[in-house]
Amino acid sequence: MKHHKVVDALITQAEAERRCAYGTTKALRSALARRAQALELQRVFPNMYAAPKYWESLKPDERTRHLARTAHRKHPHWVFAGITAAAIHGLEHQWHLHDGSITIMTTSQGCNASSSHVKRIFMPECTPEYVKGLPVTSKARTAVDCGLSTDFRFALPIINSALRTDVTVTDILTICGSMRRDCTPMFRLLHYANPVCENGGESLALGTIIDGGLMVPEMQQEIIDPQTGTQYRVDYLWRLPSGRLVVGEFDGYEKYVNPQMNDRQGVRGAVHAEKERETGLYRANVDAIVRFTYEDVMAQHPMLNKLRAVGIPNAVSTTASTLTMD
């Protein structure tokens, strides 16, 4: 297809501004659509386009931010909410939560209809915050909306991430108290929230353990090798009623290939360091070490079965009534 200089310029400018290209006139919309029909561009949203290779290079959360930046140019009054706001705030979450739509807030219940592209959350009042030029719901309100619309184990990383920054339990409870809806899911999330989780994967694994009905572990505990004095911080630690100590380790691929995480030792060096770490933990009277991957956690049963196999018992029934405000 013959190149359209104006369309080429739109794509170049859009990529420079980390957004999508869109048509402001009928002629431009038709030109963009023709390029998409010829597979030279990819239609990623109604009247939003990107070069296929460029779009493929973006992570799912950055794709959502691209959509939001573009939508803001077209609808500057929109305030982004839900998982879109979580991506803009930089709250940790699983990428599968991005489905190609964007979420905004609305102050009118009559305009609360959502579509496959634009989802709306009703808020009678909202004073937006601006993050890198984009209007969004506050971090606390974003956490609440995600907590009420997302499965527990996928919402927990968002809550932990918010609490690890400048959001408090009191902030979240205050928002829940102002809402005319059942906030029981948020109370359960706050009961189990643990901002010491170092990343979204660890939070997801914790949420999966809780959802699976197993005993809740201690997080990020230090264990000292009695022979060398080396301190090892473990992701999950269970002190079982029998006196046994079980360690759980979330095995992220990155720690083997990211030089900043493996002290530039390379894969072979990282594996050797893990062997030394395991030996030190066993010398410190750890009875079992269970490793699970992100894939294990997402599939649930592989991780839960590994934990049950080493004797992790079911949790004692608890309620959220012990929640305290900070």
- Tell me the domain boundaries of the chain: 5-57, 61-195, 213-309
For the residues of 36-84, what is the DSSP string, one character each? HHTTSSEEEETTEEE-HHHHHHS-HHHHHHHHHHHHHHH-TT--B-HHH
DSSP class of residue 162? H
**The pair of three-digit structure tokens given for residue 239, joined into one six-digit string:** 């002190």
Q: What is the mean pLDDT of residues 2-29?
A: 92
Tens of pLDDT, residue by residue over 78-91, are: 999 999 999 999 99
Closest-CA residue to 292 (of 284, 301, 279, 282): 301
Give the containing element (helix H, strand E) for 25.
none
Between 29 and 109, the more confident residue is: 29
Buried b (16+ CB within 10 A) or exposed e, 121-156: bbbeebebbeeeebbbbbbbbbbbbbbbbbebbbbb
pTM here?
A: 0.88
Tens of pLDDT, residue by residue over 208-218, are: 999 999 999 99
DSSP class of residue 243? S
Distance CA 213, CA 207 (A): 10
Distance CA 47, CA 30 (A): 10
Using a 10 angstrom Cβ sphere, with 0-12 exposed, 13-18 middle and 19 or more buried, the burial of residue 75 is exposed
pLDDT score for 108: 76
Distance CA 202, CA 254 (A): 13
What band does 263 get if pLDDT is binned at 50, 70 and 90?
low
pLDDT score for 109: 66
